[in-house]
């Protein structure tokens, strides 16, 4: 990626090259923990932190690492970052850590992270690598939270349940009950719901992209027409 203008990096991470929607990377944790908004938010932020830290470090050392051994070095950096984040979550967000369980150490295996290290951070400046990590991570988090909200709303009929896991005791009241007397829809909480939900989200993104493309085409055609007339 040679174009490193900041706004482009941001747009890339959040939309055009969104790790979950477009690159379809890191789907295992995405599908496994997106059953509530809070779980999704927790894992998304942990992944974002890892992405930022690993991207920055990889970018700093990019001139000194020989290309033959770059992948093991990246893996070491990512593994240490994840370990730090895992231990800190265990210390400060213990309950959330217990719920997310194996998926926090598994951030190591999230291909989105090594993909950004290899494809972006090892070739770009520290500041743009930082931005890339941040917005790729936020793009991933956005999908996790959206999918989590969909599944939680359909599956439990609530939003933001167990918010105290992230925001402390004061947040216990955050929970919004969408439907009173809701029986629950188990399918949405179980893994099939994650696959179906992600399918709909990706379809929705493709529809938006298609509409936008059609509108741009129409616009440019009108401009050509207008310039031909004058």
Query: Among 186, 207, 219, 224, which residue interacts with other proteins (rule: CB under 8 A)?
Result: 186
CB 152, CB 37: distance < 8 Å: yes
The residue among 30 and 188 lying less far from other proteins, judged by its C-beta, is 188
* Number of residues near other proteins (by CB under 8 A): 8
State the nearest-atom distance from the C-beta of 155 to other proteins, in Å.
9
Query: Among 192, 215, 219, 221, which residue interacts with other proteins (rule: CB under 8 A)?
Result: 192
Query: Among 190, 213, 218, 224, which residue interacts with other proteins (rule: CB under 8 A)?
Result: 190
Residue 214 engages other proteins in binding (rule: CB under 8 A): no
3-class secondary-structure state, position 52: helix
Nearest to 26 by CA among 143, 135, 121, 186: 143
Q: Which stretch binds other proteins (CB under 8 A): 50-58, 90-98, 107-115, 183-191?
A: 183-191
- List of residues 6+ apart from 86 with CB closer than 8 A: 97, 104, 105
State the nearest-atom distance from the C-beta of 150 to other proteins, in Å.
15
Q: Which stretch binds other proteins (CB under 8 A): 50-58, 60-68, 140-148, 182-190?
A: 182-190
The residue among 192 and 204 lying less far from other proteins, judged by its C-beta, is 192
How many helices and strands, by DSSP H and E, does the chain display? Answer: 10, 2
Q: Tokens for 18, please give them.
A: 């969104």
- List of residues 6+ apart from 178 with CB closer than 8 A: 153, 157, 158, 159
The residue among 186 and 224 lying less far from other proteins, judged by its C-beta, is 186
Helices (H), 65-190: 70-92, 94-100, 111-119, 126-155, 164-167, 186-189
State the nearest-atom distance from the C-beta of 156 to other proteins, in Å.
13
Q: How many CA atoms lie within 13 A of 48 on its CB side?
A: 22
State the nearest-atom distance from the C-beta of 215 to other proteins, in Å.
20
Q: How many CA atoms lie within 13 A of 76 on its CB side?
A: 7
Query: Among 178, 187, 208, 221, which residue interacts with other proteins (rule: CB under 8 A)?
Result: 187
* Site residues (vs other proteins, CB under 8 A): 183, 185-188, 190, 192, 196
């Amino acid at each position: 990626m040679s174009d490193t203008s900041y706004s482009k990096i941001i747009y890339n991470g959040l939309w055009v090259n969104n790790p979950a929607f477009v690159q379809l990377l890191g789907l295992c944790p995405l599908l496994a923990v997106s059953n509530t908004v809070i779980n999704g938010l927790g894992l998304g932020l942990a992944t974002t932190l890892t992405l930022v830290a690993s991207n920055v470090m990889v970018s700093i050392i990019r001139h000194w690492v020989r290309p033959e051994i770059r992948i093991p070095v990246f893996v070491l950096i990512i593994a240490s970052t994840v370990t730090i984040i895992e231990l800190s979550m265990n210390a400060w967000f213990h309950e959330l850590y217990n719920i997310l369980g194996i998926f926090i150490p598994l951030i190591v295996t999230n291909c989105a992270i090594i993909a950004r290290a290899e494809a972006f951070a090892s070739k770009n400046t520290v500041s743009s690598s930082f931005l890339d990590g941040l917005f790729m991570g936020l793009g991933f988090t956005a999908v996790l939270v959206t999918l989590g909200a969909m599944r939680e709303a359909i599956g439990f009929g609530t939003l933001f349940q167990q918010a105290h896991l992230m925001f402390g005791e004061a947040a216990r009241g955050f929970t919004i009950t969408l439907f009173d007397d809701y029986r629950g829809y188990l399918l949405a909480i179980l893994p099939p719901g994650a696959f179906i939900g992600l399918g709909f989200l990706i379809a929705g993104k493709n529809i938006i992209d298609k509409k936008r493309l059609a509108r741009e085409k129409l616009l440019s055609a009108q401009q050509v027409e207008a310039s031909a007339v004058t």
